Structure 1
């Protein structure tokens, strides 16, 4: 089978890594897909973080 263009990526909250005052321990992570031809760099999306209880920037991790 041929390798597809779409990749499954993981988005991680940037605030949870550095902040100590949050609702619960842990880091918020989302999974999504991206087209490697259209977006070759790492993406950043604003998503809801249940640990921080607010909308924060989520960056793509490896």
Structure 2
């Protein structure tokens, strides 16, 4: 069976609030770690979220 092209990743907040988003990414075209600036409702501001593994 072939390996899936899209994988689920966990975007962890860099504000250390424990908040995270779950999103998909194409592992063949985006080989580097994903970083996005999104809203953290616990910190009540936009912060950078970095990719981590779903456990």
TM-score by length of 1: 0.78
SS, match of residue 18 in structure 2: coil
Higher strand fraction (1 or 2): 2
Q: Which has the larger radius of gyration?
A: 1
Query: What is the Cα-based RMSD across aligned positions, in Å?
Result: 1.1
| Structure 1 segments of 4+ aligned residues over 4 angstroms from their partners | none
Return 5+ residue gaps in structure 1 as ranges.
17-25
Unaligned residue ranges in structure 2 (runs of 5+): none
Identify the residue that residue 12 of structure 2 maps to in structure 1. Answer: 12
Higher helix proportion, which one?
A: 1
TM-score (norm 2): 0.86
Residues paired across the two proteins, number? 53
